[in-house]
Amino acid sequence: MRNIIRSEILKLKRYRILWAGIALMLLSVLLTLFTSLADDGSHWDFKYLIEQVIKNNMTMIFPMCITLITGYVISREQRDDTLKNTLTIPITLQKLMTGKLFVCGWISVFFGIVCFVFTLGAQLVVNFPGVSLELVLQALYQITFYNLFCYIALMPIIVLTSRSPSGFLVGVIIAFVYGYGGLFATGNMTIANLYPISAALGLIGYRSYDAAVSWNYVLCSTSLLTMMVITGVLLAFMKEKKFSNKVKKKKTKKIKKGW
């Protein structure tokens, strides 16, 4: 497995899709800054900025972003026709997928750090009050780990939809709806503790200072553990795909010229 992970990291070199992830992390922060301009009575300080960045990440950006990128990372073996080289080593599809999921977990953490850096940058520009070292460290921890936990919550969708070369695009849509559902789940603490996307918020202690927010860490952990188990089961029962892996090129329709 160590070799698979190391090779997966090598494959990311000059991989442009990662830049799309970085751009989306920037978008998440810019979107938050944009909402700060609205005169809705909210009192904006650094703490509130962090919370809003995490909320935007959850509801709009990150589920879509990581499903897209992981989908690309997985389906490239079919797109680039490299699966045959790996299967004849032999390395099973399950092992390869596990390695890829592991590396994409690290990519989630990396995007979390990138998002944190952009948040700090935004803070330097807009200079909201209430900055402290403790809050900066909290921002780093919460943004980064939220991305990781959110990724865990999304893993079953990623595994289910990334098997066919362009199936992950369906996964991106499902992930967006699934992520947005987190916003509604937070309306009820029991559902919030069970719904994986919002349970990820519970594990980072999102707004835990608020008396109305009561996270049950056991339920939140169980929710995400269930997602990991489902992913494991999906991987274990994954049919060994036998080489029907070339992306079919779309036939271009010939336009009849003349009469």
Partner 1 sequence: MKEMIIQTHNLTKQYGKQKSVSSLNMNVRRGRIYGLLGRNGAGKSTAMKMLLGLTTPTSGDVTIFGQSMRTNSNEILPHIGSLIEAPGFYPNLTGTENLRIFFQLRNMKRTENIRIALELVGLPYRDKNLFSQYSLGMKQRLAIALAVMHNPKILILDEPINGLDPIGIAEMRSFIRSLCDNYGKTILISSHILSEIAMLADDIGIIDKGVLLEEESMVELEKKNRRYVSFKVSNTRQASDLLETEFNTKNFKVLDHHRLQLFDTDLSIPQINRKLIESGVDIAEVQQREDTLEDYFKKVTGGDGIA
For partner 1, which is the closer residue by CB, 82 or 214? 82
Measured from the CB atom, is 73 or 159 closer to partner 1?
73
Q: In terms of C-beta density within 10 A (0-12 exposed, 13-18 middle, 19 or more buried), how is residue 232 classed?
A: middle
CB closer to partner 1, 41 vs 90: 90
Our CA angle for 105, 109, 113, nearest 5°, is 165
Which of 70/147 has CB closer to partner 1?
Answer: 70
How far apart are CB 122 and partner 1 at their closest, in Å?
Answer: 31
The Cα 204–Cα 224 span in angstroms is: 13
Which residue ranges make up the site for partner 1 (CB under 8 A)? 3-4, 6-7, 10-11, 13-16, 76, 80-91, 242-243
- CB of residue 21 vs partner 1: minimum separation in angstroms? 15
C-beta of residue 171 within 8 angstroms of C-beta of residue 157 = yes
* Cα–Cα dist 179/196, whole Å: 9
Q: How far is the CB of 252 from partner 1 (least distance, A)?
A: 20
Please list, in sequence order, all residues whose beta carbon lies within 8 angstroms of the beta carbon of residue 220, skipping any fewer than 6 positions away.
Answer: 193, 199, 200, 202, 203
CB of 72 to partner 1, least distance (A): 12
d(CA 97, CA 73) in angstroms, rounded, equals 10
Decide whether 90 or 129 has the Cβ nearer to partner 1.
90
Rounded-to-integer distance, Cα 240 and Cα 93, Å: 6
Counting DSSP H helices and E strands in the chain, the numbers are 11, 0
